[in-house]
């Protein structure tokens, strides 16, 4: 049965090098196989990558640089539910090769941008090439214009969005743009939309900057196709009713993600002092109640979302008076407060504002600065290396470092290279930077959670919680779970959470308020006219996970790369209910091998041929067979795998 709604079946293919534009038709088979959003992104990145490894060595350090070359692509895609009457249907994914990690990457953001792109008539926007000078793209239904952005060079994201809207003469146009960090190719630069909606992780802003692309503006006026609108309305109304009747709904609207601060501090996994402690003594000064009491002036929400988790905060007094921002959310707050030894929420608002305006990921920025502080405290690097001394809680120096990183000044030029570049310069920094595959860790400490450690270790883009967040379930009810139970919850999260990114909806109604998965399958079926179960959708999500893993293993990623940050094994937590806890490396090894077995991967994390074929990824299986070979086992690729990459993985194939 063919698709009867949910898709425009059109992709807008834009080449900045010659300013050419073409519209490509997307087949029903392609859309049903990859769904949309991150799924489509993974497919197009795979196609680019498969061709690229015929010409350059398949090593992640090589592709980390290739990510900043003109021929790298970035695919921007909402999903089939984006823009429809369904809870939180406003998500858009950006997919590319990451300039931070050198492997497949995606990042998503909410708001209205993806809705507008669908209304302009496109399921995806593919950007390739690089402009000769700074430009922005304006997509207005079927018209595409390339507009000089020289006057916007060096401008911040908020200022840029305002200027683009004024230039076009339309306040309702939706804009995604970069700030100075993106222009300067900071490896963890983000793409900002609607003031505070960021595609924050993996360096999508640096890809924009390398392409001389300052912004994309979109305006659409077309209706979105729905096969059975009456059924969709019934499903959506039940979903909205479920959320609004949830006992946590009012708290969620009041505090949003900031409610997580108290919860994590209570259970002892709030990252503090660079992931060394799990409890922050002055958490009441940086929690959701403090935000509501002294700073919050309003709410924002993404498209069709009743949870309205976006807080608008204003500093009303003190040295940062007048600073206003959409946020901060939990991750930003933790990274710029407890993890740096700061107990001042007004400072968090200021740091959030600077990162948004300059266009940098708050997680990576905060993580790296905290690591720098610990490294100097331990004499891993010196005051001369940095240019000044910096200690826990020194707010002015942190704010200076944010500016220095974005503008690549002084020590900021080194820090702007992210974990990979920092460790390459100072090898011993490996012991203080919490990262996986060179993506800096999110703000959930894994010392007391084997599930979270495994989730970080096996995340396809690096140490990010967006693929799996099993920590709460494990700490609440899973302390006595066996290995199989813990692996199973990670695997389930890694199927369902990325599925939301494929459908173009937010995961928070499910993870925070427990909206049953069946609603999503029913909405997809009503919209597309293709009756689909949640099991079928999860199957497709797992197919995409295998596809992104294939990119990784072809770039040399192996078992040794699937471990959480070293601290969780080597340094016990210093305080709180989990004081003294750390993950057993021996037990983690057993979990990892069990994870591989359940995934259908071999003992070194390479997807087996029959696994890929089960998911219809026969072409992927053929490339892996040709480039790696069936004999490449854990025994032949152990601790010395990195040394063998030139011989085994480094050939073009």
Answer yes or no: is pLDDT of 317 > 80.
yes
Q: Give the C-alpha distances (Å, rounded to integers) separating 85 from 92, 479, 506.
A: 16, 39, 13
Long-range contacts of 161-167 (CB under 8 A, 24+ apart): 161/192, 161/193, 161/194, 161/195, 161/215, 164/136, 164/215, 164/217, 165/217
Task: Count Cα neighbours of 249 within 13 Å in the Cβ-side half-sphere.
Answer: 14
| Strands 135-140, 104-109: pairing kind | unpaired
Side by side, the strands of the sheet bearing 324-326 are 296-300, 310-314, 324-326
479 compared with 462, residue with greater pLDDT: 462
Residues sharing a CB contact under 8 Å with residue 271, sequence separation 6 or more, in sequence order: 278, 334, 335, 338, 339, 443, 444, 445
The pLDDT tens digits of the residues spanning 131-170 come to 999 999 999 999 999 999 999 999 999 999 999 999 999 9
The pLDDT tens digits of the residues spanning 280-298 come to 999 999 999 999 999 999 9
pLDDT-based confidence at 1, cuts 50/70/90?
low
Query: Which H/E stretch holds residue 627?
Result: helix 618-627
- Helix segments in 555-615, DSSP class H: 567-570, 585-599, 609-614
SS3 label, residue 621: helix
SS3 label, residue 145: strand
Residues sharing a CB contact under 8 Å with residue 598, sequence separation 6 or more, in sequence order: 487, 488, 491
Answer yes or no: is pLDDT of 420 > 90.
yes
The pLDDT tens digits of the residues spanning 472-484 come to 889 888 788 999 9
Mean pLDDT of 391-406: 98
The pLDDT tens digits of the residues spanning 181-197 come to 999 999 999 999 998 89
Mean pLDDT of 579-586: 96
Task: State the DSSP string of 447-478.
Answer: TT-HHHHHHHHH-TTSS-TTS---HHHHHHH-
- Beta-bridged to residue 453, according to DSSP, are none
How far apart are the C-alpha atoms of 300 and 549, rounded to whole Å? 36
Closest alpha carbon to 531 in 549, 518, 542, 545: 518
Residue with tokens 């990576």: 364
pLDDT at 649: 42
**Mean confidence (pLDDT) of the chain:** 94
Q: What is the SS3 assignment for 374-423?
A: HHHHCCCCCHHHHCCCCCCCCHHHHHHHHHHHHHCCCCHHHHCCHHHHHH
Q: Which domains does the chain have, with CATH numbers?
A: 10-219 (3.60.9.10), 252-440 (1.10.569.10), 450-648 (1.10.599.10)
Kindly report the pTM of this predicted structure: 0.95
Answer yes or no: is pLDDT of 549 > 90.
yes
- Beta-bridged to residue 439, according to DSSP, are 436
Answer yes or no: is pLDDT of 633 > 90.
no
């Amino acid at each position: 049965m063919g698709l009867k709604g949910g898709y425009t079946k059109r992709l807008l293919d834009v080449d900045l090098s010659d300013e050419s534009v073409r519209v490509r038709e997307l087949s029903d088979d392609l859309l049903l196989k990859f769904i949309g959003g991150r799924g489509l992104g993974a497919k197009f990145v795979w196609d680019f990558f498969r061709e690229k490894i015929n010409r350059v060595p398949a090593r992640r350090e090589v592709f980390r640089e290739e990510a900043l070359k003109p021929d790298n692509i970035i695919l921007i895609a909402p999903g089939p539910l984006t823009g429809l009457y369904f809870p939180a249907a406003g998500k858009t994914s950006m997919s590319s090769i990451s300039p931070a990690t050198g492997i497949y990457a995606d990042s998503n953001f909410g708001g209205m941008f993806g809705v507008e792109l669908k209304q302009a008539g496109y399921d995806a926007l593919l950007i390739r090439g690089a402009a000769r000078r700074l430009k922005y793209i304006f997509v207005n239904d079927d018209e595409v214009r390339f507009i000089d952005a020289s006057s916007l060079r060096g401008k911040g994201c908020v200022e840029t969005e305002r200027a683009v809207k004024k230039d076009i003469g339309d306040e309702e146009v939706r804009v995604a743009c970069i700030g100075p960090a993106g222009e300067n190719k900071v490896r963890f630069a983000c793409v900002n939309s609607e003031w505070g909606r960021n595609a924050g992780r993996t360096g999508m802003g640096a890809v924009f900057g390398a392409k001389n692309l300052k912004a994309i503006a979109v305006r659409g006026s077309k209706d979105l196709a729905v096969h059975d609108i009456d059924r969709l309305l019934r499903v959506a109304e039940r979903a909205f009713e479920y959320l609004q009747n949830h006992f946590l709904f009012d708290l969620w609207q009041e505090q949003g993600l900031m409610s997580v601060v108290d919860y994590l501090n209570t259970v002892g996994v709030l990252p503090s002092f660079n992931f060394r402690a799990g409890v922050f003594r002055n958490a009441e000064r940086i929690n959701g109640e403090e935000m509501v009491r002294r700073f919050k002036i309003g709410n924002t929400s993404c498209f069709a979302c009743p949870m309205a988790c976006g807080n608008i905060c204003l500093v009303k007094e003190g040295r940062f008076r007048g600073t206003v921002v959409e946020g901060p959310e939990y991750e930003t707050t933790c990274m710029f407060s407890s993890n740096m030894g700061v107990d001042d929420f007004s400072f968090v608002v200021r740091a959030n504002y600077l990162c948004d305006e300059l266009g940098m990921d708050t997680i990576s920025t905060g993580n790296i600065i905290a690591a720098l502080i610990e490294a100097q405290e331990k004499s891993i690097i010196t005051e001369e290396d940095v240019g000044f001394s910096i200690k826990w809680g020194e707010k002015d120096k942190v704010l200076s470092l944010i500016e220095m990183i974005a503008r690549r000044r002084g020590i900021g030029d080194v820090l702007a290279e992210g974990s990979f570049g920092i460790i390459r310069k100072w090898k011993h920094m490996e012991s203080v930077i919490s990262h996986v595959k060179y993506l800096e860790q999110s703000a959930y400490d894994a010392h007391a959670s084997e599930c979270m450690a495994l989730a970080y270790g096996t995340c396809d883009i690096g140490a990010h919680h967006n693929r799996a967040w099993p920590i709460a379930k494990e700490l609440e009810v899973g302390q006595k779970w066996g290995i199989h139970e813990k692996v199973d919850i990670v695997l389930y999260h890694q199927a369902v959470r990325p599925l939301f990114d494929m459908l173009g909806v937010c995961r928070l109604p499910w993870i925070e308020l427990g909206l049953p998965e069946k609603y999503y399958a029913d909405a997809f079926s009503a919209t597309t006219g293709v009756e689909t179960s949640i099991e079928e959708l999860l199957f497709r999500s797992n197919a995409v996970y295998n596809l992104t893993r294939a990119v990784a293993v072809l770039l040399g990623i192996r078992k040794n790369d699937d471990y959480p940050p070293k601290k969780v094994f080597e340094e016990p937590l210093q305080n709180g209910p989990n004081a003294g806890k750390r993950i057993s490396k021996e037990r983690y090894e057993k979990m990892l091998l069990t994870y591989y077995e359940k995934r259908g991967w071999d003992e070194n994390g390479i997807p087996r041929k029959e696994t890929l074929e089960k998911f219809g990824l026969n072409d992927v299986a053929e490339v892996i067979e040709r480039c790696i070979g069936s004999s490449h086992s854990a025994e032949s690729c152990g601790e010395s795998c990195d040394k063998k990459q030139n011989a085994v993985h480094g050939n073009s194939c």
